Copies of this chain bind each other. A is one copy, B any other.
Amino acid sequence: MEGVVPIRLVAGREIDILDQTLLPGEERQITLRDVDGVVEAIQRLRVRGAPLLGVMGAAGMALAAYTLGAAEKRLRVAATTIGRARPTAVDLSRACDDALGLALKEQEVARPKALWRHAENYVARRILEDRAMGALGADVIADASAVLTHCNTGALATGGIGTALGVIRAAWERGTLTHCYATETRPLLQGARLTMWELAALGIPATLLPDTASAALIASGRVGAVITGADRIAANGDTANKVGTYGLAVVAARHGVPLYIAAPTSTIDIGCASGSGIPIEYRAAGEVGGFGGARWAPAGTDAFNPAFDVTPAELIAAIITEDKVYRPPFEFAGN
């Protein structure tokens, strides 16, 4: 058992997701029956996390083949529509493209089933790869009795045990790690809402902090490492991740605290030479200055709201994948 299940595939018919915007207050399942529903769920962040967006890409393509038909033209439109629902996590567009390529090798009549099987395999692979990543990562952070993490990178973000949170869980199961600090992660509070909920469910002792307190925490010596996931890793190791990661990286470097990135190989985009080539999603101003129904800022407040920032490779001590641990200078095999 890997923990919470953020997504379930019901063969040929529907995708059931846990609506993450409502957590931890309410655990509500939503049924997606068409491409529009898949895109809406992705854009509203009902499902999120780069690896889980990959799952949604694969599963969304399968659903498209069943509901829209499996002719090449229709599948190409679906791959573009779903793949561009959010721009930064490469796993999403890559999963759509891979599914499209796989489908086009089949006769049209065989495509829906082939795509569904592919999506189910994608889910199964996440579970196996997360476990492998966790084991490799637990070696990397073996000396850290406490770590700081940002955003949510657990079961909710992947469908397996998670990336960075999977590493934390593996280190906790080994007994080397005894405490996890998590940022709130404004504006959408994935750390406060999702990571703290997962850590509580796992029984891992955890402490929440405002994003503003991260630098004070690192300066205090309480954490032996900072570990996060990634949304896209460029060929040189520059890494786009949830906004705020870059600030953590700069402060950690000043204090000699290593920053580790945990992400599946599917997050590495060797077609992207460096971080400056990674498209960054800017989200609506309304996400800032309030949350849910509450508004704190005056009405009409303008906001600067990038969903991600880019941490240069020079600030990253290691990139942990399911296959191996990369150390600087980062050189990835073609994938």
- A residues with CB within 8 A of B: 24-25, 181, 183-187, 189, 192-193, 196-197, 200, 206-217, 219, 222, 242-244, 246-247, 250-251, 254, 285, 288-289, 291-292, 294-298, 301-306, 309
Contacts and interface: CB of A to CB of B under 8 A. Distances in A.
Contacts of A289: 184, 192, 196, 208
Name the residue among A285, A296, A306 with the largest chain B CB count within 10 angstroms: A296
Contacts of A243: 210, 212-213, 216
Given A181-B304, A304-B207, A298 B197 contact: yes
A304 B292 CA distance: 24
Q: Which of A291, A292, A297, A306 counts the most chain B CB atoms within 10 A?
A: A297
28 contacts: A183-B212, A184-B289, A184-B296, A185-B212, A186-B212, A187-B212, A192-B288, A193-B296, A193-B297, A196-B289, A197-B298, A200-B301, A207-B302, A208-B289, A208-B301, A208-B303, A210-B211, A210-B288, A211-B211, A212-B242, A212-B243, A213-B305, A213-B309, A216-B243, A216-B309, A247-B247, A250-B250, A291-B296
Contact of A184 (B244, B288, B306): B288
Contact of A298 (B24, B254, B292): B24
Contacts of A302: 206-208
Contacts of A254: 250
B192 A296 contact: yes
Contacts of A184: 186-187, 288-289, 296-297
Q: Which 10 pairs show the lowest CB-CB distances between chains A and B?
A: A212-B244, A215-B247, A186-B210, A216-B309, A209-B304, A192-B297, A215-B246, A211-B211, A187-B210, A192-B296
A264 to B, nearest CB: 24
A107 to B, nearest CB: 48
A246 B216 contact: yes
Contact of A297 (B24, B211, B298): B24
Q: So how many copies of this chain end up in the complex? A: 2
Chain A contact residues: helix, strand, loop or mixed: mixed
Contact of A211 (B181, B186, B200, B216): B186
A222 B294 CA distance: 29
A199 B295 CA distance: 17
A256 B242 CA distance: 24
Nearest to A188: B210
A24 B298 CA distance: 6
A243 B211 CA distance: 9
Contact of A246 (B219, B246, B292): B219
Contact of A304 (B217, B250, B306, B309): B217
A207 B244 contact: no
A4 to B, nearest CB: 13
Most chain B CB neighbours (cut-off 10 Å) among A184, A213, A295 = A213
A172 B247 CA distance: 29
